Chains A and B, each alone.
Chain A
Amino acid sequence: MTFDSPHIRVKDLNVHIGGNHILKNINIDIPDKKLTSFIGPSGCGKTTLLKTFNRLLDRNKDVKIDGQVLVDGQDIYGKDIEVTDMREKMGLLSQRPFPLPMSIYDNIAYGPRIHGTRKKKELDVLVEKYLRATGLWDEVKDRLNGSAARLSIGQQQRLCLARGLAVEPEIILGDEPTSALDPVSTQRIEELFLQLKDKYTLVLVTHILRQARRLSDYIVFLYMGEIIEFGPTEEVLLRPKEKLTQEYVKGFIS
């Protein structure tokens, strides 16, 4: 499936980690301001694919990446790319929330600060705005200077989302962002993702089929490092064309 002006376009991407061929000839277009989910059994390469988008993957040892990842038409593996500027465009929500070792306020202000916002008043506005956007404001407004480590794990994950939004990214990457959360917190994160769909391009890695169905516009099914099927959510989940996808959706392989 291709789009006329995709937000992210992956061209002939191959990833080797320590001699293992993890991603094989990946070609895919991620549409703008839609939610695209990567599904597939564990070890299929969905997280690896996600981490090639913000170049977190190539920080590790023994990783070899060939091919192109174009964001807004620009190859992020190109020579003249400024990696920090590129990463600024992409927020990441990881499996386990990881607040920075500082106060709740400073966690949100961290991004704006390193990108040049210094005035206390402007930071105050940003902190409130993004804590409200993630529904945390009323819960934490009286303890903004308290430690982020004291928050519940669900609150921490929303804090991490707010922290990412404060950098004003265009793309949000979620690497199984609800896998460590209880059902109530999971629901809150899912609601936030649905709200964010209008403004941001979202890419979500998940192993929960129902979650993928609830949230996504498009679904990519990966198996053993290859893209097996890519299409609108209903089509992939209800009328899969490939035999492997059928077996996965029905629960025969996992």
Chain B
Amino acid sequence: MRKRRRKIESLIFKSLMILSALIIAGSLLMILWTITSKGFHSLTWDLVSKIPEGGFYIGKGGGILNAIIGSLYITIGSTALGLLISIPVVLYINVYAKRNAWLSNITRLSADVLFGIPSIVYGAFGFAIMVYFGLKASLFAGIITVTLLIIPILVRAMDEVISLVPNELSDATYSLGATRWETSKILLKQSVPGILTAILLSFGRAIGDAATVLFTAGYTDSIPTSLNQPTATLPLSIFFQLSSPIEEVQNRAYGAALILTIIVLILSLSAKYFSKRFSKHKI
């Protein structure tokens, strides 16, 4: 009797788990299906190779090259800048300030709190700073604000990986007379797959976020040629086209969403590939 009850219990939970897994896979498929079926016909060479012509948002010709390039500029710029800031932070709390629990805890707590702040707050913050310094919406302001948005993601994700490297590895390098910086390099090497995952996470967040760039990067139909110029981005391009009452324009929004998804997909796959290549010596 008791055996039977345990069997049924196990069966119920197994079914619940399978159901949850199906919901996740199902939502991904449905999103992909929606944007593909609605956007596929608008996905023309013109869409990815031209900037908007006059009257683009009421159905005239042109494409969203301005938004694609703008998004790539912002995302690559902010990810690079974010890494420049967060790698030293992570190494500092894991290698240099290892004995200083207080400092590491404060840094981790700050990153956690920053992680939870909605992106519109970053947008508003960036905007306030811009107003204070008398700056206009620009690629530069966009990159800085998005960098602020992704630093907590980078710090927390990399901290997670590097703090999991066994102490024996740093014991080994220190015993060979390595300095803390030389030890840090070995720790980074050991953590390459995790660092790539962190970059991927932040890249996805940076390229897909509309609220941070709304006030800071602005929106324009041309491709920026300097950091001082405003720039279009894919999420805002989707937003403006989707707000149009004209169906053709709306469908182009789905085309833009498809492009955004493809960029993230290509990145995920190449990150997987490189992660394997760079970690062939991982212990």
Contact = CB atoms under 8 A, between A and B. Distances in A.
Looking at chain A's contact residues, the main secondary structure is mixed
B278 to A, nearest CB: 10
A115 interface: yes
Interface stretch (B39-47, B54-62, B165-173): B165-173
A149 interface: yes
Interface string B220-231: 000000000000
Contact of B177 (A59, A87, A102, A173): A87
Contacts of A61: 98-99, 101
A147 B175 contact: no
Interface stretch (B9-17, B141-149, B182-190, B204-212): B182-190
Interface residues of B, number: 25
A69 to B, nearest CB: 16
Contact of B189 (A84, A88, A101, A173): A101
A94 B179 CA distance: 19
Contacts of A147: 280-281
Contact of B171 (A56, A148, A163): A56
Nearest to A98: B168
B99 A164 contact: no
B182 A100 contact: no
A91 B174 CA distance: 10
Contacts of B281: 101-103, 147-149
B276 to A, nearest CB: 13
A167 B177 contact: yes
B176 interface: yes
Nearest to B99: A61
A233 to B, nearest CB: 26
A187 to B, nearest CB: 23
A178 interface: no
Contacts of A149: 281-283
Given A92-B171, A98-B166, A98-B169, A110 B176 contact: yes
B176 A114 contact: yes
A160 interface: yes
B174 to A, nearest CB: 6
Contacts of B174: 54, 56, 59, 87
Nearest to B189: A101
Which A-B residue pairs are the 6 nearest by beta carbons? A88-B177, A92-B175, A98-B168, A111-B176, A101-B190, A101-B281
12 contacts: A60-B98, A61-B98, A87-B175, A90-B175, A92-B175, A96-B168, A98-B171, A99-B283, A101-B190, A102-B189, A102-B281, A148-B281
